[in-house]
Amino acid sequence: MTTTGPRRLAAQADPVRPGPASEIVVFVDGVPMAGLDGQTVAGVLMANGRLAWRTTRAGRPRGVFCGIGVCHDCLVTINGLPDVRACQRRAVDGDTIATETGTGAQS
């Protein structure tokens, strides 16, 4: 008997319902924030109640706008590297994240 459709996947290999995620901790402006392995930096920030983490030169708050790396609203400094798009970078346990003012390293 042949079967059509996808074959069954082990829980850890299932992209829709993966097994339990490992917890991670990142440090945002010196404050520890909990996240899950595989979350983007923006995901960790938003899950911890932060909707904005950068300000423009005029002082306007910014966070995720497009969510796909096209705009520059979600820029942060990660482990000393400025102007990283938080929506594109996956958080890693122990990351040191700094919020930015203005346009980032060039401001």
76: in domain: yes
Q: Is the pTM of this model over 0.95?
A: no
Report yes or no on 9 lying in a domain: no
Residue 35 lies in a domain: yes
Look-up: residue for tokens 């392995």?
A: 37
Per cent of the chain over pLDDT 70 is 77
CATH of the domain at 42: 3.10.20.440
- For residue 54 the two structure tokens come to 């950068």
For 5-26, the pLDDT digits (tens) are: 455 545 556 566 566 778 999 9
Domain range for residue 97? Answer: 21-101
What DSSP letter does each residue of 60-105 carry, written as one string? -EE--SSSSSSSSTTEEEETTEEEEETTTSBP-TT-EEEEEETTST
In the chain, the number of structural domains is 1
pLDDT in tens, 80-90: 999 999 999 99
Asked if residue 12 is part of any domain, the answer here is no
